[in-house]
Structure 1
Amino acid sequence: MARADLSHQLSVNTIGPHHLIRTYLPEKLKSSSTIYCSMSWAEGSAFAPMPAYNISKAVLNALTVQYALSYTDEGFTFMAIHPGWLRTDMGGQDADLSVEEGATAVWEMVSSCTQTQNGQFMNIHIPGSESYTWDIIPW
């Protein structure tokens, strides 16, 4: 694993979301409730041959949990979501879902999320799918 690749993946997938949260958190503390969703990846803690990407997503999951623990009393919900295997440049044309299907499923999850999802890594739900069942993903 190249050092530059790890630095890039951590910058994009972990440090970037952290800076985004820290930037908007003071304003959001004034609201009664806020939901923050990080886009993770179900294979991010497993054995796919993309070590820098996997590490960055595992760190993102840990960051999400730490924010969830820190801001529960303020009514915040922080969760990581697996948006599905999407047909993108990274996912390829053989992926399960279109970007639109994945985005719709993420929006449905965010719209119906409750405090019980705080700190969790959640799988999207696609009706009739055995892969996308709105489960908690262990990591």
Structure 2
Amino acid sequence: MAGPQCCAVMVTGANRGIGLELVKHFLKEPNPPKVVFGTCRDPKGPKGQELRNMASKHSNLIILPLEATDPSSVDAAAKKAEAHLGGRGLNLLINNAGVMPPCSMDSITAKDLLDVYNTNVVGPMLVTKAFLPLLKKAAHACQQKGLSCGKAAIINMSTILGSIEKTPETYFFMPVVSYRCSKAALNMLTKCQSMCYKEEGILCTAIHPGWVKTDLGGHQADITVEESVKGIMKVLCNLSEKQHGVLVTWEGNVLPW
């Protein structure tokens, strides 16, 4: 399934799991983006090796160091991206970086909650604000009507575990309280972004990637990274005003907040 026709894409947390697989899929598209920005905290370290290997084979992959919770790091990444784009805008921002430490109602502490919020909510907020001028530039330069990932879009990687309505169905097999609370907050951030940026022509959607076999999801998960990302790529192609400000699954189904 071909992905959305974007000139410039950015994926945070691109050195492993879903983020890395998203970068792979964008690069192997029949008509790949002219620029794919893959970000991670330490691209020169051992965890960035696979990303570096891909960059050596694909000149359109640009690796950016980015610590999403550090405003100076985020701003530096935005300036580097702007320089690489050479006056063009950014069509698609995928806020994928996140953490999910074990956490129950008995074990949770204030520090647990604040640390996870900082990565899973504050990080996407900082990154989006820093890259917003580039997203606006892409949206304003596009002649097509409506909203789409090919025009300009913010995609926040969320989860069904952040759905308040679905909590009774999912809590007991995976409590992860701090993660759940942070993703519920990310869902609210997505909704607020959708209200604020619609007039700018920027699509804002949250995506539940499924329970995926990654370092985050564990080996007991339901689906592989490739299965999840193939579904996400298909969803990205079909996003429009109907999914603006909505939480959708990797299979394209709408989830309640």
TM-score by length of 1: 0.88
Q: Which runs of 5+ in 1 are unaligned?
A: 126-133
What residue in structure 2 maps to residue 54 of structure 1?
180
Q: Which of 196, 202, 207 is the matching residue for 1:76? A: 202
Q: Which of 217, 239, 243 is the matching residue for 1:91? A: 217
In structure 1, what is the Cα distance between the partners aligned to 2:235 and 2:153?
Answer: 11
Q: Counterpart of 1:137 in structure 2: which amino acid? A: L
1:29 matched to 2:115? The reply is no
In structure 2, what is the Cα distance between the partners aligned to 1:85 and 1:107?
Answer: 16
CA contact 1:13–1:56 (8 Å) conserved in 2 = yes
Q: Counterpart of 1:116 in structure 2: which amino acid? A: K
In structure 2, what is the Cα distance between the partners aligned to 1:99 and 1:67?
Answer: 27
Tell me the CA shift for residue 102 of structure 1: 1.0
1:40 matched to 2:148? The reply is no
State the identity %: 33
In structure 2, what is the Cα distance between the partners aligned to 1:5 and 1:40?
Answer: 19
Q: Does 8-17 or 97-106 show the bigger shift?
A: 97-106
CA contact 1:35–1:110 (8 Å) conserved in 2 = no
In structure 1, what is the Cα distance between the partners aligned to 2:235 and 2:205?
Answer: 11
In structure 2, what is the Cα distance between the partners aligned to 1:28 and 1:92?
Answer: 34
Q: Which runs of 5+ in 2 are unaligned?
A: 1-107, 140-150
Q: Does 75-84 or 97-106 show the bigger shift?
A: 97-106
CA contact 1:79–1:117 (8 Å) conserved in 2 = yes
Greater Cα radius of gyration, structure 1 or 2: 2
TM-score by length of 2: 0.49
In structure 1, what is the Cα distance between the partners aligned to 2:137 and 2:217?
Answer: 38
